Structure 1
Amino acid sequence: MSHKSPKPSQLANVALLACLYASSAWAQSETKSEVSATGKSVELVYESSFQNYQRYSASTIQSWKLTNDTVKDIGGWREYAKEVTQDQDAKPSVSVHSHGGHQ
């Protein structure tokens, strides 16, 4: 059985893998945790996500005809659109972006 010598590209791959392995070993540095000189402790407060949970309650089911007539009586979709724009006018935007003279 004869043993062939490796090709230069195979040697380069082996050398590259060896370098990557060595660099990853050096990247793992030992961390030392030091206690701060002030010695202040932090108080953790637990707040449950479910503390203010409100269970779903289905609204009463009405006839679709009655519901459509009610919407028509109050002004239809335009009335809902007015409510949305009035809510936006009442609540000013928190962040105001200035773009110089651009409008």
Structure 2
Amino acid sequence: MYPKSPKPPQLTAAVLLACLHWSSAWAQNDIKLEVRTPEKSVELIYQSSFENYQRYSASTVQSWKQSNDTVKDIGGWRAYAKEITQDTDAKPSTPAHIHGGHQ
């Protein structure tokens, strides 16, 4: 009786494992890296995030009728929308990409 010969997939797996083992052994190098210490010491300065903290102060509470009348007197929601658009830069935005002669 002769022992069975390995099937091709088993033989392939055994060869690949052997190659992997040998390649990891050859991958070791003898070069030792030196850690360089900085010549100048770095001075760290601590600045707290809470240094310029401003405590929340709630606005005075008004009746809903008085609040609605105030909004109506200043021009309604359009006044708030105008405030937002006036806060942005007055520079016109240029398109990022101009295709041919189209703008």
Q: Which has the higher helix share?
A: 1
Q: Offset at 1:58?
A: 1.1
Corresponding residue for 1:54? 54
Residue 61 (structure 2) pairs with residue 78 (structure 1): no
Q: Gaps (5+ residues) in structure 1?
A: 1-7
- Please give the alpha-carbon distance, in whole angstroms, between the structure 2 residues aligned to 1:97 and 1:46: 43
Deviations 1:44-98 (A, max 9, x none): 11000110111111111000110010000000000111111111134x59xx773
List runs of 5+ in structure 2 lacking aligned partners: 1-8
Q: TM-score, normalised by structure 2?
A: 0.57
Runs (4+) of structure 1 exceeding 4 A deviation are none
Structure 2 equivalent of residue 34 of structure 1: 36
TM-score (norm 1): 0.57
Provide the aligned C-alpha RMSD in A: 3.8
Secondary structure at the aligned position of 2:88 is classed as helix
- Matched to 1:87, the amino acid is D
- d(CA) in 1 for partners of 2:64, 2:86: 27
Aligned length: 87
- Give, as a single letter, the amino acid of the residue that structure 2 aligns with 1:45: I
Greater relative CO (CA pairs within 8 A, separation 6+): 2
